[in-house]
Amino acid sequence: MQTITLGVSPLRSSRLAYGCWRVTGTWDPREISPESWNAGKQAIRTAYEAGYTLFDNADIYCGGEAERLLGEVLRETPGMRERVVIATKCGIRPAHTPQPGLPQRYDFSAEHILRSVEGSLKRLGIETIDLLLLHRPDYLADPAEVAEAFSRLQQDGKVRWFGLSNCRPTLVTALQCACPMPFIVHQVEISLLRQDALTDGTLDQCLIEHITPQAWSPLAGGLLADGASRLLRWQQQYQPHTVLEELDSLARHYETTRGVIALAWLLRHPAGIVPVVGSTKPDRIREATRATEIRLTRDEWYRLLVAARGEPLP
């Protein structure tokens, strides 16, 4: 698979990343079965064998079990750790933790960041996280405190590089001004059915600051491929309009599938978007790599954009 440099770092990533948020088959650790655990391990191994070299995780995915599962595969696969980029995220505190009655909230405090990283390192079974992202914007975030935590983690050799996820451009700027190290990745939702990053300044900022954008849910939970995931609670927000017809037309032209074309649409952007593929089905994991072989024309790209909007451009 083609590779790309992440931001201004020396890290090289496959053009597609593999997302681990669904590898356990559930959000509830109590529902994990030996079968679902083994299926998740097989999905990760398939991605690695297909050329994915960036594995995206988070401390909240199935209560940390997704990190534990990835760590198990790393231990069982000789040479894998040295060949891949391990990314994980922190900053979301689930409801009712550490005590009942507390709401879900976001926490960029130095104490929480440092504690979260220790937990992730233990579950992953590694000494250093290659890329740490702050998961959701904490409205009480103190840039100086984030800088303090990041500097300590880097100095202690526990995290190599840093980035953000789902942050508004102004918060990215505020945090970057305080942090001595450059942010190399900003992960946000981007797809034909979620185009906000094109208009809210996110991708413009990535181009200016040399930050690599990562696209989570690049197929809108499967709606741009063959169906939506049952785990995607917000899938009803997506409105496919006529874009599926355009995707099918281009898929026939390129002799591929609509999902591959939807990924190729993201890859065409000059900011160097890295789509995060989250399927746990081996055939779809392998099939997605075909997107890296297709370069849509400008006319094809805009045909899809307009079809997804459901109305002409202004």
Give the DSSP H/E element, type plus range, for residue 185: strand 183-189
CA–CA dist 34, 20 (Å, integer): 17
* DSSP-based helix, strand, coil % in the chain, nearest 5: 45, 15, 40
Largest CA distance in the chain: 56
Vertex 246, ends 52 and 263: CA angle to 5°? 10
CA–CA dist 192, 250 (Å, integer): 14
Compute the radius of gyration of the chain from its Cα atoms.
19
Task: Identify the three-state secondary structure at position 275.
Answer: strand
Question: CB pairs under 8 A, 24+ apart, for 172-177?
Answer: 172/205, 172/209, 172/211, 173/205, 174/143, 175/134, 175/141, 175/143, 175/146, 175/147, 176/209, 177/143
pLDDT of residue 242: 83
Give the DSSP H/E element, type plus range, for residue 208: helix 202-209
Q: How confident is the model at residue 286 (pLDDT cuts 50, 70, 90)?
A: very high
Q: Which is nearest to 180 in space by CA: 148, 212, 133, 203? A: 148
CA–CA dist 171, 143 (Å, integer): 9
pLDDT of residue 290: 98
Q: Which positions are catalytic?
A: 61
pLDDT of residue 128: 98
Poorest-pLDDT segment among 77-91, 144-158, 179-193, 235-249: 235-249
What the block records as the tokens of 196 is: 């906000």
Q: How confident is the model at residue 231 (pLDDT cuts 50, 70, 90)?
A: very low
Over residues 230-256, the mean pLDDT reads 77
